[in-house]
Amino acid sequence: MKRRLRSVITEHKELAPHIFSLKLKTEMSAEAVPGQFIGIYPKDGARILMRPISICDSDAETGELRMVYRAAGKGTAEISGYGAGESLDILGMLGNGYDLEAVKEKKVILLGGGIGIPPMLYSAKRLKEQGTEVTAVLGYADSNTFLKEDFEKYCTVQIASMEGSVGTKGTVIDAMNENGTEGDVIFACGPMPMLKAVKSYAADHGMQAFISLEERMACGVGACLGCVVKTREVDHHTHVKNTRICVEGPVFNAEDVDI
């Protein structure tokens, strides 16, 4: 059930320049599926739209959700200014998430690029819990390898960096080519050029790829059609070859979307 709830910040810290880790105490933590996201509302009345941020981790025991986000514009910059003990309104749980059960017996490659890295952490944790073999390939801009140690708790980690200061110089695709990374299924999140490259890599290697699209959103609940992506088949809701990322996604089989 989607609802707007008040949550309390339990931890908020800067992991790398402009990259923040935010923990929120909320009853929604018990429902979170990897790949889903929440909407965080700025408090400034000039910014009424929620900001969609993926679940990076969820701890049902402590009742905390963790998000890792970049302070990209005015809304996220405002959110980054709130500290432990303060409250934030959130909308959730949003989106579909990855089907972990379907890949239980397979070898999964998690590909995260930049601020697409955080949602892969919760996938790594839950895949490890169900005994699935996982390799994470993480693509950074530079040597600020935020979350790397967190991933190492759950899986083999390979690194790429665009400037070449750590790991393979280049993209996550370059790292897979250099390391001969093997798997049956890819889960990926990152910038659109990376997702396009992942789609064609998967097609060339006979692999399935599930990609998370983090495009601009407004309502987050399927009402405004502000987040549609072109699809191969006619969509059951829109009746055209367009689907809503916030409801039918953000995770799609790469073959089903025209990116």
CA torsion through residues 201, 246, 8, 98, sign = negative
Packing angle between helix 192-204 and helix 172-179, nearest 10 degrees? Answer: 30
Q: Residue 226's binding partner, choosing from ligand FES, ligand FAD, none, with beta-carbon cut-off 5 to 8 A by kind?
A: ligand FES
Q: How far is the CB of 250 from ligand FES (least distance, A)?
A: 10
Binding mask 157-196 for ligand FES (x = CB under 6 A): ----------------------------------------
Q: β-pairing, 156-161 with 133-140?
A: parallel
223 binds ligand FES (CB under 6 A): yes
CB atoms within 10 A of CB 64: 19
Q: Residue 53's binding partner, choosing from ligand FAD, ligand FES, none, with beta-carbon cut-off 5 to 8 A by kind?
A: ligand FAD
Helices marked H in 13-109: 74-79
231 binds ligand FES (CB under 6 A): no
Distance in angstroms (rounded) separating the CA atoms of residues 226 and 216: 8
Which among 131, 132, 179 is positioned nearest to 158, based on CA atoms?
Answer: 179
Output 84 or 234, the one with its CB closest to ligand FES.
234
Which one of 159, 217, 229, 254 is in contact with ligand FES (CB under 6 A)? 217
Output 64 or 214, the one with its CB closest to ligand FES.
214
Residue ranges in contact with ligand FES by CB under 6 A: 217-220, 222-227, 244, 246
